[in-house]
């Protein structure tokens, strides 16, 4: 996963981790040499090495939703870096329910997560000197949350929006009508040039999805 450089000295690095190919991202303020980790689902050693390779000081871990492949190693990664875990309030139950977060169903044991702080829809964070808007986008899970970073022309979409597709809705708490609403009425309001960094698979843009996503 190549580095992507946004506006105002913001860089986005990433690694594909774990058996399900989960995208873990590092959002870096290059002026301050500080960063935020998004969805450290597996392989904490690789993730911490990514953070430290350029002398970046981590400030927080952000979680897009509570499925096990996005939360399994969040606490281990955060503790290794000495930072808090922030996660969507609306996925609180899934984080403590090993059936609903799919860890038991997929044979990965009993995965749970207790975040240091829960996040609400519309909340504006400033982490590593970067403004990040929390957008609640239910459908894949009840509390799926996307993180919009205007300074990087970027949105981290978790498993809500993919290249010419949307996230699965056949898991506990999923809803096709909700995810279509989330994509059509929330994410499609972002500028066309916004790069979409999904939880799995290739990058895309809001403009491309507006023209090519069959779920719209």
Every domain of the chain and the residues it spans = 4-212
At the fourth CATH level, the homologous superfamily of domain 4-212 is Ribonuclease Z/Hydroxyacylglutathione hydrolase-like (3.60.15.10)
3-state helix, strand, coil in the chain (%, to 5): 25, 30, 45
Local confidence band at 110 (pLDDT 50, 70, 90 cut-offs): confident
Show the DSSP H helices in 55-116 as ranges. 68-71, 74-81, 92-96
| Two structure tokens written together for 63 | 């979680």
5 vs 144 pLDDT, higher one: 144
Cα–Cα distance between 31 and 168 in angstroms, integer?
38
The confidence score (pLDDT) of residue 84 equals 98
Q: How far apart are CA 77 and CA 61, in angstroms?
A: 8
Question: In which band, very low, low, confident or very high, does the pLDDT at 105 lie, cut at 50, 70 and 90?
Answer: confident
Tell me the pLDDT tens digit for each residue of 34-80: 999 999 999 999 999 999 988 999 999 999 999 999 999 999 999 99
What are the helix and strand counts (H, E) for the chain? 6, 15
Residue 129: predicted pLDDT: 97
Whether 216 and 179 have beta carbons less than 8 Å apart is answered as: no
Q: How confident is the model at residue 167 (pLDDT cuts 50, 70, 90)?
A: very high
What pLDDT is recorded for position 7? 62
The string of pLDDT tens digits covering residues 23-45 is: 999 999 999 999 999 999 999 99
Specify the higher pLDDT residue, 102 or 123. 123
Mean pLDDT, all residues of the chain: 94
180-204 pLDDT per residue, tens: 999 999 999 999 999 999 999 999 9
In this prediction, residues 140-157 reach a mean pLDDT of 97
Share of the chain above pLDDT 70, in %: 96
The answer to whether residue 6 scores a pLDDT higher than 80 is no
pLDDT at 1: 58
Please provide residue 207's backbone torsions phi and psi, each rounded to the nearest 5 degrees.
Answer: -60, -45
User: For 91-129, b where at least 16 C-beta lie within 10 A, e where not — what string?
Assistant: bbebbebbebbbbeeeebeebbbebeeebebebebebbe
Residue 101 reports pLDDT greater than 80: yes
Query: Which residues make Cβ contacts (< 8 Å) with residue 10, sequence separation at least 6?
Result: 27, 28, 29, 30, 130, 149, 151, 152, 154
Q: By the 8 A CB rule, do 81 and 157 touch?
A: no
């Amino acid at each position: 996963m190549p580095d992507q450089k946004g506006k105002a000295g913001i860089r986005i690095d990433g690694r594909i981790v774990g058996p399900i190919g989960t995208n873990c991202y590092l959002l870096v303020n290059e002026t301050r040499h500080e960063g935020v980790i998004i969805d450290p689902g597996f392989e904490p050693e690789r993730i911490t090495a990514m953070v430290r390779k350029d002398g970046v000081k981590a400030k927080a871990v952000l979680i897009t939703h509570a499925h096990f492949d996005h939360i399994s190693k969040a606490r281990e990664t955060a503790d290794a870096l000495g930072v808090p875990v922030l996660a969507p309030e609306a996925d609180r139950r899934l984080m403590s329910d090993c059936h609903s977060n799919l860890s038991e169903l997929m044979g990965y044991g009993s995965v749970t997560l207790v975040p240091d702080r829960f996040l609400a829809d519309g909340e504006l964070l400033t982490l590593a000197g970067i403004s990040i808007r929390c957008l609640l986008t239910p459908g894949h899970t009840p509390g799926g949350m996307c993180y919009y970073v205007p300074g990087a022309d970027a949105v981290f979409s978790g498993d809500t929006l993919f290249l010419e597709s949307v996230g699965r809705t056949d898991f506990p708490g999923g809803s096709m009508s909700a995810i279509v609403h989330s994509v059509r009425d929330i994410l499609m309001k972002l500028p066309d040039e916004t790069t979409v960094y999904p939880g799995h698979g290739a990058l895309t843009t809001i403009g491309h999805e507006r023209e090519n996503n069959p779920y719209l």
